Amino acid sequence: MNDLGRLEDLPADYLAELKALNLVPLWPSLRAVLPPGQPRPNTRATFWAYKALKPLLLKAGELTPIEKAERRVLVLANPGHGLESMKASAAMYLGMQLLLPGEWAPSHRHTPNAVRMVVEGEGAWTTVDGEKCPMSRGDLILTPTGLWHEHGHDGDQPVVWLDVLDLPLVYYMEASYHINGQRQTQLPGRGDRAYLGGGMVPTPVFGRSGKAYPMLRYPWAQARAALEALAADRPDLGAVQITYVNPETGGDAQNILGFYALMLRPGQTLQLPARSPASVFHLIEGAVEVAIEAQRFTLAEADTCCAPGYTPITLRNGSATAPSFVFIADEAPLHRKLGVYEVREANGQ
Ligand code: GTQ
């Protein structure tokens, strides 16, 4: 690789003339924007222990009433991007949200897509586009772009969930905004009931659902049962994994980020190849060791970590007797749509 000319090599008066005309020479920055071989991600492998953050989240519940927060969230921020930019990766935002009994997080809608992965507590619900979705541990609930959503809580213990949004990407595109609304009226119809049978979709006489997002709630009980059934049916299968899909299209549940549930068999080690998208791992059940290059994280239940793209990752079930269950979010739908999706072999080619 030849050395390219530096900014300092250019005369100051020439640089001043360029600047006055809003012009910039490319060659001093060419290697930075097009690094050799692979990107130089700011995203760092980062780990967030639920045990450490939970007391601080509960403290936020004492310090800031819901009326003063609208959404009471501690953001899981990647230090590689600077904490203030509130990114887990270039396109992913993660937050732990607390709702206390009797509280209500008012209705709004926004351009970024969100999902909730319920971490603990019973009795809360999210109403999305008029559909009231009960929240139980491990449930995945979508709040896709542009749909009204509000959160309420009729239980008697705090409820916590993990928010995953494509906010950093949508904000980067200068396309991020929200609109506040009125409390929603509940409408009949629940996607998780209508699409209960895998491989079968409701068919009103005049055609299929016209909704862009026909299924908003993916109950953990069903996801877990699907993984158990898959593992039992296919002892030969290396990765027991499901993708959360739009049941009408078979495509990813949302446009930008992808969502998956993975079961690691007792004692299983799973090597994931280096792929271009960054990814997030959140432990629903069990105990899992995650190796991301030189970093090693031991995930207990409700712990979360993220990994940059272009990096091989190894997951190991810490239990020799019980399966472990991991919720995964990644940027794969975005990379595929943009045509930059890559899987690299172990030798880095
Ligand atoms: O619950 O609507 O973590 O609007 C960030 C922005 C949650 C929400 C977040 C939001 C929400």
9 — phi, psi (to 5°)?
A: -75, -15
Structure confidence by residue, pLDDT tens digits, 47-58:
999 999 999 999
Distance between Cα 316 and ligand 1 center (Å): 32
Structure confidence by residue, pLDDT tens digits, 167-222:
999 999 999 999 999 999 999 999 999 999 999 999 988 788 889 999 999 999 99
Q: Which of 72, 75, 96, 97 to mutate to test the pocket of ligand 1 (most atoms within 8 A of CB)?
A: 97
pLDDT of residue 348: 46
Cβ of 228: how many Cβ atoms within 10 Å?
14
What is the Cα–Cα distance from 55 to 2, expressed in whole angstroms?
A: 53
Mean pLDDT of 323-341: 98
Between 279 and 348, the more confident residue is: 279
Distances (CA, A) of 290 to 94, 298, 304: 18, 6, 10
Instruction: Determine what percent of the chain is predicted with pLDDT higher than 90.
Output: 95
C-alpha atoms less than 13 angstroms from C-alpha of 97 in its C-beta half-sphere = 28
Mean pLDDT of 148-153: 97
Mean pLDDT of 215-243: 97
What is the Cα–Cα distance from 346 to 349, expressed in whole angstroms?
A: 8
Identify whether the C-beta of residue 113 lies closer than 8 Å to the C-beta of residue 86. no
pLDDT of residue 349: 45
Q: Cβ contacts of residue 294 below 8 Å, gap of 6+?
A: none
Whether pLDDT at 62 is above 60:
yes
Q: Which fold has domain 46-344?
A: Jelly Rolls (2.60.120)
Structure confidence by residue, pLDDT tens digits, 250-289:
999 999 999 999 999 999 999 999 999 999 999 999 999 9
22 — phi, psi (to 5°)?
A: 55, 45
Dig out the tokens for 170 from the structure: 């949508």
Q: Which of 53, 57, 70, 71 to mutate to test the pocket of ligand 1 (most atoms within 8 A of CB)?
A: 71
pLDDT of residue 1: 55
Whether pLDDT at 2 is above 90:
no
Average pLDDT taken over every residue of the chain: 96
Identify whether the C-beta of residue 215 lies closer than 8 Å to the C-beta of residue 143. no
pLDDT of residue 347: 54
Q: Which helix (H) or strand (E) holds 193?
A: helix 191-194
Nearest-atom index, ligand 1, CA of 73 = 3
C-alpha atoms less than 13 angstroms from C-alpha of 163 in its C-beta half-sphere = 26
What is the Cα–Cα distance from 54 to 301, expressed in whole angstroms?
A: 12
Q: By three-state DSSP, how is residue 110 classified?
A: strand
Nearest CA to ligand 1 atom 6: 71
Identify whether the C-beta of residue 121 lies closer than 8 Å to the C-beta of residue 130. no
Unique residue bearing structure tokens 């519940």: 61
Q: What is the CA radius of gyration of the chain?
A: 22
- Residue count of the chain: 349
Beta strands (DSSP E) in 10-83 are 46-48, 73-75
Q: By three-state DSSP, how is residue 242 classified?
A: strand
Nearest CA to ligand 1 atom 1: 71
Nearest CA to ligand 1 atom 11: 71
Q: Cβ contacts of residue 29 below 8 Å, gap of 6+?
A: none
Mean pLDDT of 154-162: 98
Distance between Cα 229 and ligand 1 center (Å): 34
Distance between Cα 318 and ligand 1 center (Å): 33
Mean pLDDT of 214-231: 98
Mean pLDDT of 122-144: 98
Local structure of residue 129 (DSSP, 8 states): T
Identify whether the C-beta of residue 309 lies closer than 8 Å to the C-beta of residue 331. yes
pLDDT of residue 240: 98
Identify whether the C-beta of residue 259 lies closer than 8 Å to the C-beta of residue 304. no
Unique residue bearing structure tokens 């008029």: 130
Residues 153-185: b if buried by 16+ CB within 10 A, e if exposed? bebeebbbbbbbbbbbbbbeeeebeeeeeeebe
Task: List, chain by chain if needed, residues with CB within 6 Å of any ligand 1 atom.
Answer: 71, 73, 95, 97, 110, 114, 149, 163, 165
